[in-house]
């Protein structure tokens, strides 16, 4: 029989008639076994404060004992993925009948609220601004791909916005129900809605659920599903024809004010408190997530610090956006500024373990 255990010696199979004394002679004494000494950790062996500009390198954690995972990684690395889209551009719809006259919601179903003439003009101007932004990249074969809420006002916004693009520039579009407006509860009486919105301010803008409608937390749940779809589309290069490696792809998401704020909250892992301090985008306005030097998307590339502060970003959120500019996909910001603002005892104790 082969020697399967170098520590214990050859394995011996005993029948019931063999004595325990025989078995005892086959095992080494306790003194012959290696003694594992417990590893002592000191305050110097654990670092709790790292330079914010430094990013965490990816490791092979979990692969050493699973060679099949190494094989999968090698196979995946052999396939060159298409470049990530250069931007994710979030667009709020143009002025709608409901924005102009709140009583419209009492007689017209929310999904059927149309744009005003001003809203259509806002959307068309927005499309021209997006085109100018993209053309500054000096990439010849740039394209746009659209995701749009199925509500009438967002569909009309997209139609007006897309007038700034020739057909070859539009890679495609997808109507996405998860991008719809927060549900406020079917037909909406103006006075009742004013009362409900006042209660929401007392209860909390994120968790308050409108009767027969949704809370922002409900929107967060469905946006989480959409985000996973979007990330999958980005990873497999769904926007690119087979074999294409176009670095000039731009995604445009046409949706609603609260839905877009929740999308940003989910993407950047903002807290409820941080979400509640955000301001709504204006009609026909954009907020741009642009690919940074490491491949992640940051708001601080296209937008100035002043613009983002007006939108509602705090110091902690801005510091994280600065990190996003240089980080790579898959990296984590272990020196996340929110750690110090949330765990206030750090200031008293210093960097202790």
Residue 140 labelled as part of a binding site: no
181 is catalytic: yes
Q: Residue 207 has what pLDDT?
A: 96
Enter the tokens of residue 140.
């010849």
Residue 160 labelled as part of a binding site: no
Q: Where are the beta strands (DSSP E) in 76-157?
A: 87-92, 143-148
Q: Where are the beta strands (DSSP E) in 119-248?
A: 143-148, 170-175
Which is the catalytic residue, given 122, 176, 181, 290? 181
Q: Residue 352 has what pLDDT?
A: 55
Residue 245 labelled as part of a binding site: no
Q: Residue 298 has what pLDDT?
A: 98
292 membership: H or E segment, kind and range: none
Which spans in 213-297 are helix H? 216-236, 257-268, 272-276
d(CA 316, CA 333): 12
Contact by Cβ (8 Å): 336, 268 = no
Residue 143 labelled as part of a binding site: no
Q: Residue 188 has what pLDDT?
A: 84
Closest CA to 111 of 256, 261, 257: 256
Closest CA to 83 of 216, 190, 209, 240: 240
Residue 87 labelled as part of a binding site: no
| End-to-end CA separation in angstroms for the chain | 51
HSE-CB for 207 with a 13 A CA cutoff: 6
Q: Across-strand partners of 175?
A: 148
SS3 category, 44: coil
The rounded Cα 219 to chain-centroid distance in angstroms is 14
**For 108, which DSSP code?**
S
One pLDDT digit (tens) per residue for the chain, 353 residues: 444 444 444 444 444 444 444 444 444 444 444 544 544 434 343 343 444 444 434 444 444 444 444 544 444 444 678 899 999 999 999 999 999 999 999 999 999 999 999 999 999 999 999 999 999 999 999 999 999 999 999 999 999 999 999 999 999 999 999 999 999 988 888 888 889 989 999 999 999 999 999 999 999 999 999 999 999 999 988 888 877 889 999 999 999 999 999 999 999 999 999 999 999 999 999 999 999 999 999 999 999 999 999 999 999 999 999 999 999 998 988 877 777 778 888 766 655 55
195 is catalytic: no
Contact by Cβ (8 Å): 153, 100 = no
d(CA 324, CA 291): 9
Phi, psi of 146 (to 5 degrees): -110, 140
288 membership: H or E segment, kind and range: strand 286-291
């Amino acid at each position: 029989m082969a020697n399967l255990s170098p520590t214990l010696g050859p394995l011996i199979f005993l029948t019931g008639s063999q004595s325990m004394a025989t078995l005892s002679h086959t095992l080494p004494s306790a003194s012959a076994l290696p003694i594992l000494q417990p590893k002592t950790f000191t305050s110097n062996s654990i670092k709790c404060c790292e330079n914010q500009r430094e990013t965490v390198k990816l490791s092979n954690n979990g692969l050493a004992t699973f060679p099949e995972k190494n094989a999968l990684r090698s196979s995946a690395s052999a396939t060159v993925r298409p470049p990530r889209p250069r931007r994710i551009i979030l667009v709020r719809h143009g002025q709608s009948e409901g924005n102009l006259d709140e009583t419209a919601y009492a007689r017209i179903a929310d999904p059927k609220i149309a744009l005003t003439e001003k809203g259509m003009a806002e959307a068309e101007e927005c499309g021209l601004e997006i085109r100018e932004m993209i053309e500054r990249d000096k990439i010849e074969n740039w394209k746009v791909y659209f995701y749009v809420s199925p509500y009438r006002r967002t569909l009309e916004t997209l139609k007006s916005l897309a007038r700034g693009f020739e057909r070859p520039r539009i890679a495609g579009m997808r109507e996405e129900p998860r991008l719809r407006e927060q549900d406020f509860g079917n037909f909406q009486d103006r006075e009742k809605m004013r009362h409900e919105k006042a209660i929401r301010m007392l209860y909390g803008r994120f968790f308050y659920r409108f009767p027969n409608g949704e809370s922002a937390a409900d929107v967060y749940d469905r946006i989480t599903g959409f985000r996973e779809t979007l990330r999958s589309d980005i990873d497999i290069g769904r926007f690119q024809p087979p074999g294409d490696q176009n670095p000039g792809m731009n995604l445009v998401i046409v949706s609603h004010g609260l839905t877009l704020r929740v999308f940003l909250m989910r993407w950047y892992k903002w807290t409820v408190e941080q979400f509640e301090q955000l301001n709504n985008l204006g009609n026909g306005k954009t907020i741009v997530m642009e690919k940074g030097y490491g491949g992640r998307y940051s708001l601080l590339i296209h937008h100035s610090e002043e613009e983002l502060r007006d939108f509602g970003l705090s110091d902690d959120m801005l510091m994280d956006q600065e990190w996003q500019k240089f980080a790579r996909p898959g990296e984590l910001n272990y020196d996340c500024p929110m750690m110090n603002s949330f765990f206030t005892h750090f200031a008293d104790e210093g960097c202790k373990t």
